[in-house]
Amino acid sequence: MSKQYKIAVLPGDGTGPEVIAEAVKVLDAAGRKFGFTTEKKYYNWGGEHYLATGETLPADAKEQLSAHDAVLLGAIGHPDVKPGILEKGILLKLRFDLDQYINLRPVKLYPGVETPLANKKPEDIDYVVVRENSGGVYTGMGGNVMIDTPEEIACQNWVYSRYQVDRCLKFAFELAKKRHSAENPWRGLSEADRKAGYTSQLTLVGKTNVLTYVCGLWERAFNAMAKEYPMVKTAYCHVDATTMWMVKNPEWFDVIVTENLMGDIITDLAAMTSGGMGVSAGANLNPTGVSMFEPIGGSAPKYTGLGVINPLAAIGAAAMMLDFLGEKEAARAIEKSIATVTGTKLKSMAAGKMGYSTSEVGDLVVAAL
Ligand code: IPM
Ligand code: MN
């Protein structure tokens, strides 16, 4: 009997439903080809549902989603809802409640995709950012006093436990160790490094020169864990310098690991260097629970309903989901199909400039598959 996966689908707001329709199309085609099926349950949570009912998520959202093998999410965000409500009430709440403590964001320049970085090719831009996804300033500790007076004080605490840091680092070291393969040899390593027996590289990004308490914890934990991974060459980079190297020498990076807010910021930059939001996918992972896969771009209200948005990021998210579920071959085949479509068909990755409609791009990926 073929394998069946239970998928919770949250198309969400704006262009979310349009890109998710294409991701589902590709998922179904991959299932037919590789011999698995998906049982999908759709949820209408998002801005429209909030405006109609005043509810961001039902009280039992966690229980409902936990009955699935994975969650596929379109986009959350609505122009008529005050910023913060849907982000905190849906996206962040799901990440926290499902304990998705890793945000995995591959930075990969597909063939045929334009990068704003001069003279950089697909082989130069191919790394992964492991963003800690549940702690730091996102924890939500803090407050305001003397609100709306000239003396108002605001405080947003940046907190990390050793436990949170260690589990994130563990994931990153394991990923770095596994990333080395014939297809992906020795990224960022010199001849001397290779001779010394290193197969991969892991860079910790922080700000140890100023934020000494929290970044000191990350650095000590990182150096301690490095001893268990002699094949992984470790490096450290301040976050400000990282943004510089990501633009100037992206080929230096293999796997980056960093805390939540720094990871949030550098991955938008990383996405722009590799073709933008139209092609960038991400995964919110709970390695022992239910994970959630999403295109990292937003709901793009101005393109909603026009059939012009690029669905490749959502299709890439579906591929990441299959990889995580263990359908490695199908995941790789979808990635290859995306590369075929970017390399031979699309004129641009930007909404409205692809030379094809949203659903035609989905069809092209299916045809390539
Ligand atoms: C992201 C987004 C979210 C974040 C927002 C929408 C809450 O920017 O997924 O990167 O800050 O994590
Ligand atoms: Mn972000």
* Span 296-351, pLDDT tens digits: 888 999 999 999 999 999 999 999 999 999 999 999 999 999 999 999 999 999 99
Distance CA 140, CA 261 (A): 12
What residue has token string 């020795």?
186
Domain that holds residue 350: 1-110+277-369
Asked if 334 and 365 count as a contact pair (C-beta separation under 8 A), the reply is yes
Of all ligands present, the nearest one to the C-alpha of 103 is 1
Q: What is the pLDDT of residue 2?
A: 79
Q: What is the pLDDT of residue 190?
A: 84
Within a 10 A sphere around the Cβ of 106, how many other Cβ atoms? 19
Q: Per the structure, how many domains does the chain have?
A: 2
Residue 181 shares a structural domain with residue 210:
yes
Residue 265 alpha carbon to ligand 2 centre in Å: 6
Residue 20 alpha carbon to ligand 1 centre in Å: 18
Q: What is the pLDDT of residue 1?
A: 58
| Ligand 1 atom showing the smallest separation from residue 298 Cα | 6
Residue 257 shares a structural domain with residue 123:
yes
Residue 350 shares a structural domain with residue 317:
yes
pLDDT per residue, tens digit, the chain (369 aa), is 579 999 999 999 999 999 999 999 999 999 999 999 999 999 999 999 999 999 999 999 999 999 999 999 999 999 999 999 999 999 999 999 999 999 999 999 999 999 999 999 999 999 999 999 999 999 999 999 999 999 999 999 999 999 999 999 999 999 999 987 656 566 778 889 888 889 999 999 999 999 999 999 999 999 999 999 999 999 999 999 999 999 999 999 999 999 999 999 999 999 999 999 889 999 999 999 999 999 988 899 999 999 999 999 999 999 999 999 999 999 999 999 999 999 999 999 999 999 999 999 999 999 999
Read off the CATH number of the domain in which 236 is found.
3.40.718.10
Domain boundary among 239, 274, 309: 274
Domain boundary among 221, 245, 274: 274
Residue 26 alpha carbon to ligand 1 centre in Å: 25
Q: Any residues with Cβ below 6 Å from ligand 1, and which? A: 87, 91-92, 264, 296
Domain boundary among 214, 241, 274: 274
Residue 121 shares a structural domain with residue 249:
yes
Within a 10 A sphere around the Cβ of 307, how many other Cβ atoms? 14
Residue 44 shares a structural domain with residue 182:
no
pLDDT, tens only, 81-93: 999 999 999 999 9
Residue 344 shares a structural domain with residue 306:
yes
Residue 282 shares a structural domain with residue 363:
yes
Residue 42 shares a structural domain with residue 127:
no
- pTM over the 0.75 mark: yes
Judging by DSSP bridges, how do beta strands 70-75 and 3-12 pair with one another? parallel
* Pocket mutation for ligand 1, best pick of 264, 267, 294 (most atoms within 8 Å of C-beta): 264
Residue 326 shares a structural domain with residue 350:
yes
Residue 184 shares a structural domain with residue 201:
yes
Residue 69 shares a structural domain with residue 17:
yes
Of all ligands present, the nearest one to the C-alpha of 76 is 1
Nearest CA to ligand 1 atom 8: 264
Torsions phi, psi for 294 (to 5 deg)? -150, 150
Residue 257 shares a structural domain with residue 210:
yes
Q: What is the pLDDT of residue 183?
A: 61
Residue 224 alpha carbon to ligand 2 centre in Å: 29
Asked if 301 and 18 count as a contact pair (C-beta separation under 8 A), the reply is no
Nearest CA to ligand 1 atom 7: 87
Q: What is the 3 state secondary structure string of 282-298?
A: EEEECCCCCEEEEECCC
Of all ligands present, the nearest one to the C-alpha of 100 is 1
Residue 281 alpha carbon to ligand 2 centre in Å: 12
Nearest CA to ligand 1 atom 5: 87
* Pocket mutation for ligand 1, best pick of 90, 92, 137, 277 (most atoms within 8 Å of C-beta): 92
